[in-house]
Amino acid sequence: MARLSAELLSRGKTFSHRVADVTEVLEAKRRSRRIVDQLFGSGTSVGANLYEADDAVSRKDFCKSLGTVLKELGETRFWLEFVGERGWIQQKRLVPLIGECQEMKRLFGTMLARIKRNDAAAR
């Protein structure tokens, strides 16, 4: 059951690819494997969980997947900021990706809040 637009799914997948690109740069620079893995995991989880939300079998399942997307976006933002603060990649190169992370978090947070508000009003 398709619940999200193709544009939102594409945006999530593109975000995941961009995070993977950052982790490849970090790997080439031989930065902390643990941090590379954390960043790769949270960043690619965004796209994967959006696809899972799109295929959710219930409203509750959809909200759970969107909640996971929000958590993963928060973790990804942390790691991107951390990488920039350490000087592993210039902060100015990370700003657009961090901005996309924040925009997506606002978008999906609003979507989730609206669903919960509507569910509460229906009771």
28-82 pLDDT per residue, tens: 999 999 999 999 999 999 999 999 999 999 999 999 999 999 999 999 999 999 9
Question: Does residue 25 carry a pLDDT above 90?
Answer: yes
Structure tokens at 98: 């961090």
pTM: 0.94
DSSP 4: S
Better-predicted residue by pLDDT, 114 or 119:
114
Structure tokens at 35: 């941090």
- How many angstroms separate the CA atoms of 9 and 69, rounded? 12
| Confidence category of residue 1, pLDDT binned at 50, 70, 90 | low
Q: Residue 45's domain is classified under what CATH number?
A: 1.20.1440.60
Tokens 């759970």 sit on residue: 64
Number of structural domains in the chain: 1
In a domain, 1, yes or no: no
Q: Write down the pLDDT at residue 86.
A: 97
